[in-house]
Structure 1
Amino acid sequence: MPNANKNKISSPFSKTNQHDQKYKTILSAASELFNVQGTRGTTLSQIADKLNLTKTSLYYYVKTKEELTHQCYLNTCIEMQAIVDKSLSCDGSAIDKLDALFRLNFECWNDIIKGNRGHLAGLTEIASLSTPHQEEISAHYRHFVIQVKDLINAGIEDGSMQAIHPGKAANAIWGNIFWLPVWLFSVEESERESAYQQWLTIIKFGLNNTPEKFEFKAISFDDEHMAPTGFDRSEQNRKKQEAFLRVGSSFFNHKGFKGTSLDELAKSLGVTKGAFYYHIKNKEDLLIKCIERTFNVEQSVLSDTMSMDINAIDKLAFAARKMFSIQLGEQGPLIRYATMWSLPADKRKEMEVIASQVRDLFGDMIRAGIADKTIKEVNLLVAENIIAGAIESIPDMAIAPNEIDLVKGSIDFFDIFFNGIATIQRG
């Protein structure tokens, strides 16, 4: 467990602190702005203005934006841990406790959307924190995964859950929990309960529409190089830029925008700064190109998969697994969607439109699966975001990528979304 004895973490918002309530208000306001504008696009002055405070008053509670970001993330972890603890204390089987975990998370974010509780910061920019703070928040996240992994093992033992890979399923589940607010905000209040029930049903019982267990096809991923398109360069320069973008994506994924140094990046590639700047204008230009590369790769995978002569559910499974193999294989990494929060607001909106278009391609596969009756009748928005949330969480897997069998690992990771986690009578 991370450095928090049952979450009694020493912090400015502990119950023994006389400024607890005011500090929580600051955390809520800051979290809301961070979620909308990103930490890079949010200033302490904006947070002070939102609270009708002077900057001097705000500095009484927090000295730097990095400190405030860390406290917002720590607050989210404390709230999430309280939800986990409450879920695990529920009566019933392991699947009942997992149900409670899903329900409490939904109610939490739904209440935030309705304005009934303070905002929580989405853990989208952990890499922007200092190394000690990164390690602390990451330790909390790993503990969440371990607790759900243990719950899945208990579910397999008591017969309420299927014999799936506990570690990979736990990562996939938390990826979807933290992705929940990304799409739930776009759902009308009157439709949120229905959308949640769809989300829950897919995770528990899967997308597969046949009475038999869905079997993943034996397909090799060692095929064509999924090189990005859209860059008017010679082949030699294209390969060099591809290397820049892959290494840049790795740096941004692990160190964030603020922590990524172009000097360090150039050194890791064994090139001079002059050679680096021949391909990249500045750090923001590199981030944009890394995001564009990811979109191009994903669109290429999805378009190619759509043309395959197989059932729609097999196409969906292949595309998802291909993303897994790229992210953790030699062609990766792809950059995390969360890095878009480091862009200026106008550019981020532009990138979010493209990200939505990529998710819609998954929706097209799901729609085709409903039509050919290989996929259940499901809400397309919910289903495509379940796959997107899983893909976004792939880099969080605790196992080192070079220790993963990409073919088997991709099956273990996505099995829950095709066959579900709950034990049900088939046939």
Structure 2
Amino acid sequence: MEETAIEQTAEAADPGTSTKRFRAKRDAILAAAAEAINEQSAKGMTFADVARRVGLNTTSVTYYFKRKEDLAAACFEQTLERLQAMLDESLAEATPRDRVARYLALNFERLAAIQRGEETAFAILSDLRAMEEPVLGRLMTGWREVFRKTRSLWGTATTRAQTDLFGARAHVLLENTFWLPIWLVRYEPDQFARVEERLMDVFAHGIAAPKARWDPELIDLAHDEPEPGREAFLLAATRLINELGYRGASVQRIASQLNVTKGSFYHHLDAKDDLVLACYKRSLDTIADAQHLADERGGSQWDRLSGTIATLLDVQFSERGPLLRTTALSGLPAEGRREMVDRSNRIARRYAGTISDGVAEASIRAVDPLIAAQALMALQNAAFDMRKWAGTMPRDRAIAYYASTIVFGLFDDRVLNT
């Protein structure tokens, strides 16, 4: 039912404007906006769409939020507040492992409640950096506090190496919980407890066999450029889309970074949707090439898996990277998005196959292959965000620290001694 002018006036007359009805309607608008952001990105979300989702008119929505940017910012702030509340509850536990287990459990509880219709999803943070100042500064301060609290799940670091390792663990934990809604839908709700247990097993003990060593051999991914300039164009576009989101990375910005005209863009691609699909295909081709070449090279399944992981992290941390984040798919037409998600799923299944074969030959620990594969997908997908972190140390150390989070688990310090 649409809100009337009389109702608006009555609420405005309330000195606190925090009546139950006001809060309930504001919360409904935030929930609808979060849903729109998750489907279309923050820049793609419109007042008209949000109003339609909650049965209001556009004017009624502007009563609560004057500008679309204010609504998007409120959604992101709500996400950050919820994350901090879950982290605060987790920090009350006695040990790092108990804290991580509690944080994971809270995420599963939240997703189960969403499945039952008792809660609504909060806005994903992939578009946060595309916001403008002064809102961006406020949101980034909130994000840094979320990251700091997550890192503190492991206690206080006593050395710089520990600080670096705890930072990698915090990032991988957060990204895995952000990735959960993407693949958890493949399981029935009554299986959530089992999935949580298996994922926590990967977090606690990793995927490597007990005597496995981290000594990967990088794979040579060098290949001839199919079209002069196209690779550089896709690389620049990938970096900007990862940083600013699909809608934040305009054609003009991409062209400006390469110091070319917008006309050059249309020489390479017909439309912006084609650009994102080409960037995503380039990234998925890179991952698939690494997997294929690792199999061609042979060795144990652990050798193949560790070589693939190390090579892809090297790509993410180097100038020849990065790979496009899957969050860039929001805003794409459904058909193109479905095609890329299907390809991504095939890559995850190949990881699962390698893990399953490794379990059989005892070079990889007995884990749930499908769940461990999704943990690896989250790890490699989000490594782009850790480029500055990786740049503060030798590349091989950055790769070892970051990979150790899933390879040896979130509580094994052996990588500090390598």
- Name the CA shift for 1:64/1:164 in 2 (closer, same or farther; >3 Å): closer
Contact 2:113 2:119 in 1 (8 A): yes
TM-score, normalised via structure 2 length: 0.86
Pick aligned residue for 1:406 from 387, 390, 395: 395
Q: Residues 226 and 297 of structure 1 are in contact (CA less than 8 Å); yes or no, is this contact kept in structure 2?
A: no
Q: Check conservation: 1:111, 1:117, Cα contact below 8 A.
A: yes
After superposition, what is the alpha-carbon deviation per residue over 1:96-146, rounded to whole angstroms, capped at 9, x for unaligned?
Answer: 222222211221222122212232122232244325444433333332222
1:74 Cα deviation (Å)?
Answer: 1.3
Segments of structure 1 that go 5 or more residues without pairing to the other structure are 1-14, 228-234
**Pair 1:360–1:21, CA change in 2 (3 A):** same
> How big is the shift at 1:335?
1.3
SS in 2 for 1:165: helix
Instruction: Tell me if the contact between 1:249 and 1:335 (Cα under 8 Å) persists in the aligned partners.
Output: yes
| Maintained 8 Å contact 1:369/1:375 | yes
In structure 2, the partner of 1:50 is 53
Superposed displacement of residue 72, structure 1? 1.4
Is the CA contact 2:245–2:327 (under 8 Å) kept in the aligned structure 1?
no
CA contact (8 A) 1:324 1:406 kept: no
Aligned runs of 1:94-133 on 2, under 5 Å?
94-133=96-135
In the TM superposition, 1:413-424 aligns within 5 A as 413-422=402-411
Contact 1:241 1:279 in 2 (8 A): yes
Instruction: Tell me, in whole angstroms, the C-alpha distance in 2 between the residues paired with 1:134 and 1:168.
Output: 24
Q: Which of 283, 286, 305 is matched with 1:297 structurally? A: 286
C-alpha displacement at 1:400, in angstroms?
A: 5.0
Provide the residue aligned with 2:317 in structure 1. 328
Match of 2:147 in 1: 145
| Native 8 Å contact 1:94 1:155 kept in 2 | no
Contact 2:255 2:261 in 1 (8 A): yes
Deviations 1:160-205 (A, max 9, x none): xx99821212211111121122212221111111001000110011
2-side partners of 1:348 and 1:64: how far apart? 29
CA distance in 2, matches of 1:255, 1:382: 29
- In the superposition, relative to structure 1, how do residues 166 and 107 fare at CA in structure 2: closer, same or farther (>3 Å)? same
Deviation string for 1:372-416 (max 9, x for gaps)? Answer: 122233323311110111122212227355434322211110112
Which region of structure 1 is more displaced relative to structure 2, 336-345 or 115-124?
115-124
Q: CA offsets per residue over residues 342-393 of structure 1, 9 Å max, x none?
A: 2122321222111212222212211221221222333233111101111222
For residues 293 and 285 of structure 1, do their structure 2 counterparts lie closer, same or farther at Cα, with a shift above 3 Å needed? same
Partner of 1:308: 297
Q: Which residue of 2 aligns with 1:219?
A: 217
The aligned residue for residue 276 of structure 1 is 265
Q: How does 1:65-84 map to 2 (within 5 A)?
A: 65-84=68-87
CA distance in 2, matches of 1:109, 1:132: 32
Could you say which residue in structure 1 is the equivalent of 2:18?
A: 17
Are 1:252 and 2:241 matched, yes or no?
Answer: yes
Q: Distance in 1 between matches of 2:155 and 2:92?
A: 16
Q: After TM superposition, which residue ranges in structure 1, 4 or more long, deviate above 6 angstroms?
A: none
Residue number among 354, 359, 377 corresponding to 2:366 in the alignment: 377
Higher relative contact order (CA 8 A, sep 6+): 1
Distance in 1 between the 2:288 and 2:134 partners? Answer: 37
Q: Distance in 2 between matches of 1:400 and 1:147?
A: 17
Question: Retained in 1: the 8 A contact 2:151–2:170?
Answer: yes
Answer whether contact 1:148 1:170 (CA < 8 A) is retained. yes
- Indicate the SS of the match to 1:342: coil
CA contact under 8 A between 1:39 and 1:341: conserved in structure 2?
no
Cα deviation 1:316-343 (Å, max 9, x = unaligned): 2221221111112121122111000021
What is the aligned length? 395
- What amino acid is aligned across from residue 34 of structure 1 in structure 2? I
- Mapped to 2, the partners of 1:383 and 1:312 lie a distance apart of 14
**After superposition, where does 1:229-248 map in structure 2 within 5 Å?**
238-248=227-237
**TM, length-normalised to structure 1:** 0.84
% identity of equivalent residues: 25
